[in-house]
Chains A and B, each alone.
Chain A
Amino acid sequence: MAGIISDIFGWYKHLEVDKDKALELIGDDAVILDVRSGKQIKNVEPIFEENFHLEFSEFEKKFNESLEKNLFKKDDLFLVFCKSGSKGLKAVRLLRSIGVENSFNVKYGTNAWFANLDGCGT
């Protein structure tokens, strides 16, 4: 719900991408970070096979661990998604604050990914 205010004023516009842009970034070999909880992942069909599951509750710790294991590098292109887009946005803000400039959140998360786009979903 908190997102309604920032949406009106467009505070985080530069941190977020829509579905089309996200697909474009994936074409550019973006590293996909999934910050959903295990239960949320189980309830929705998977989006991409190749992604790193860094649960939001311990996102920073797991991110640093993966860096140490050389699973990806700090100057890679990152695409973060969660269920509704709000945790993903927080994760991206955290990434930017530790100097990962090439990171973006999928706006409205998997909810938007699987929604039918004529706006008639019931």
Chain B
Amino acid sequence: MQILNLLIMATLLYILFWMQKSFKSFTSRVFTGLGLGIVFGVSLQLAYGQGSNVISSTLLWTNIVGTGYVSLLRMIVIPLIMVSITSAVINAEESKNTSIAKISSIIVTFLLVTCGIAAIIATFTSLAFNLTAEGLVSSANEIARAEALEQRASSIGGTSDLISQLVSIIPTNPFKAMTGSGNNATIGVVIFSALIGMATRKIKSNNKQSFELIQNLVNASQDVVLKLVQMVLALTPFGVLSLMTKVAASSNWTEISRLGNFVVATYVALILMFLVHLLLIMLCGVSPIIFLKKSWTVLVFAFTSRTSAGAIPLNIDCQVKKLGVPNSIASMSASVGATVGQNGCGGVYPAMLAVMIATALGIEILAPIFFVKLIIVIMVASLGGAGIGGGATIAALIVLPIMGLPIELVGLLIAIEPILDQGRTALNVSGAMVAGVVTAKVVGDLDKDVYNAKKVKVV
């Protein structure tokens, strides 16, 4: 049976390959991958039943494509961030008022504010859905998870540690950050690269020769890295097919329907927040429909792969080529937005958990002292969480103890974690893209011709 499944998978991959060979558009290929993945995954589950051994052994093989693709993306993230940010800083024109400091402060402010809005929306959605932590039973699996989380939380600590986490965003060892260890890799590399760029600019007047040498070196490496990014991104349809097959085949629908109320409430909050994103795009004076059409492939990738960091290359590519955001802003917003002020993981999720637990404990949610504190803590935690490597669970583990709430519930939701994480990741990435567009608009660098163009110019 497994051989048959793998033959089907091979056929599906060939269909995508043929579509590429016959020059079908990238978007239609990504969507074919998504659709085929859903159909194949669901039919696997219907044919063999939930959690059967055949499915898991089939997925073992089909995952080669998906995991390989995500690994390739992760491989290019650090070099991409390094060269794009360094070259953006070095090549920035003196006359323009778009210093990297200004750009990054707009981006971070925007992300934190939208994160706060997301938290507010999530709070009201949970209240509307009457979510409560009462009556959730824990099985052995979940109790074990809760214990592990307790330990993790005690190592993260409370308010005083939050401040030291903010400082720890600065990489003490940039090379360690580049290896991706220490969890704060992305943001550390962003800071290091921006500083290298600034230092290079400062030697321009005294040491022109060295400046030009570094400038050419950086620009040349950027050309190579961008080509590498394109090569990897061309594999997106195959990756999406494999990732979606895994999701559709391994989702545990009984568990999901048991906690259905929470899943539905989460998605309502995520969709409402996404509408806020589109509204913000509209306020920039550009069409939200076009934004939706052009960003769709990136969101699909984020949704299927559940990796905000892995979406950075696609995100930058989309912003620069399709949305007319300058490279400096795009690379900054994509890489910062993947860790700081995540709308989904840092905003919606902790707020919903806090409300659920607080309701069960009989705390008045809308009392200003609780509500305002909650929103502020969530915003600060979404910034601080970047220092210890984001993720929704971490965000919740930082927020809940500061609010004086128990954290066991985080463990209870382990069964539906994947399906929640998909939506959250898509919202994170969408937030980062909107941050790019809004920042470009604010500093007056948004290229509307590119934004409105129907066809992507071939380079």
Chain B facing A: main interface SS: helix
- Is the C-beta of A3 less than 8 angstroms from some C-beta in chain B? yes
Across-interface contacts of B25 in A (CB, < 8 A): 111
- Stretch of B192-200, B225-233, B387-395 on the interface side: B225-233
Q: Do B18 and A121 touch (CB < 8 A)?
A: no
Q: How far is the CA of A120 from the CA of B459 in the complex (A)?
A: 10
For the A-B complex, the count of residue pairs with Cβ-Cβ distances under 8 Å equals 50
Q: Do A119 and B234 touch (CB < 8 A)?
A: yes
- Is the C-beta of A116 less than 8 angstroms from some C-beta in chain B? yes
Q: Interface size class for chain B?
A: 20 to 34
Residue B234 contacts which of A1, A111, A114, A120 (CB distance < 8 angstroms)? A120
Q: How far is the CA of A20 from the CA of B314 in the complex (A)?
A: 32
- Is the C-beta of B15 less than 8 angstroms from some C-beta in chain A? yes
- Is the C-beta of A23 less than 8 angstroms from some C-beta in chain B? no
Q: How far is the CA of A121 from the CA of B28 in the complex (A)?
A: 12
Contact with B along A45-87 (1 / 0, CB 8 A): 1000000000000000000000000000000000000001100
Q: Do A115 and B233 touch (CB < 8 A)?
A: no
Q: Interface size class for chain A?
A: 20 to 34
Contact with A along B226-260 (1 / 0, CB 8 A): 01001101101000000000000000000000000
Q: List 29 A-B contacts (CB under 8 A).
A: A1-B15, A4-B18, A7-B18, A7-B22, A43-B455, A45-B455, A84-B24, A85-B22, A108-B22, A108-B23, A111-B22, A111-B23, A111-B25, A115-B23, A115-B458, A119-B20, A120-B227, A120-B233, A120-B234, A121-B26, A121-B234, A122-B26, A122-B230, A122-B233, A122-B236, A122-B297, A122-B314, A122-B321, A122-B456
With A116-B458, A122-B26 already in contact, 11 other A-B pairs whose C-beta atoms are closer than 8 Å: A3-B18, A84-B22, A84-B23, A108-B22, A111-B22, A111-B23, A111-B24, A115-B23, A119-B20, A120-B230, A122-B314
The 10 A-B residue pairs with the shortest CB-CB distance in the complex, in nearest-first order: A111-B23, A120-B230, A115-B23, A112-B23, A120-B234, A122-B233, A108-B23, A108-B22, A4-B18, A116-B458
**Which residues of A are at the interface with B, using a C-beta cutoff of 8 A?**
1, 3-4, 7, 43-45, 84-85, 108, 111-112, 114-116, 118-122
